[in-house]
Amino acid sequence: MDDLDALDTVGDPAITLPEVIYRASCPECRTSFELSADALRLAIGGSHRTTFYSFTCPDCGSSVRKPAGDRIVELLTDGGVRTMRLHTG
């Protein structure tokens, strides 16, 4: 059956989704650039003050940490950014 052939390609590892690219800027050197999901890390804490994303500036090498509200968390997790949940206690 032709339908079975089509189903066989659903799990095909050769079929990949397009890579998500994020625009970011560095507060140290003030440059803007694009980063892949692999270059970003998301930490989700118990409050908005402890929820942030981080990356290393590709131009100056500075470690950058920025707050992440609900919309940023959604965009980053949907794009495949690695997420770490912070526990308190």
Predicted pLDDT of residue 60: 97
Residue 25's contacts (CB-CB under 8 Å, 6 or more residues apart) are 31, 32, 33
CB atoms under 10 Å from CB of 7, counted, come to 10
Q: Summarize pLDDT for 5-46 with one digit per residue, the tens.
A: 333 444 555 556 678 899 999 999 999 999 999 999 999 998
d(CA 4, CA 8): 6
Quick check: 79 and 37 in contact, CB under 8 A? yes
For residue 83, which of 26, 46, 42 has the smallest C-alpha distance?
42
Q: Summarize pLDDT for 60-81 with one digit per residue, the tens.
A: 999 999 999 999 999 999 999 9
Instruction: Copy the structure tokens of residue 81.
Output: 């950014």
Q: Summarize pLDDT for 47-59 with one digit per residue, the tens.
A: 888 999 999 999 9
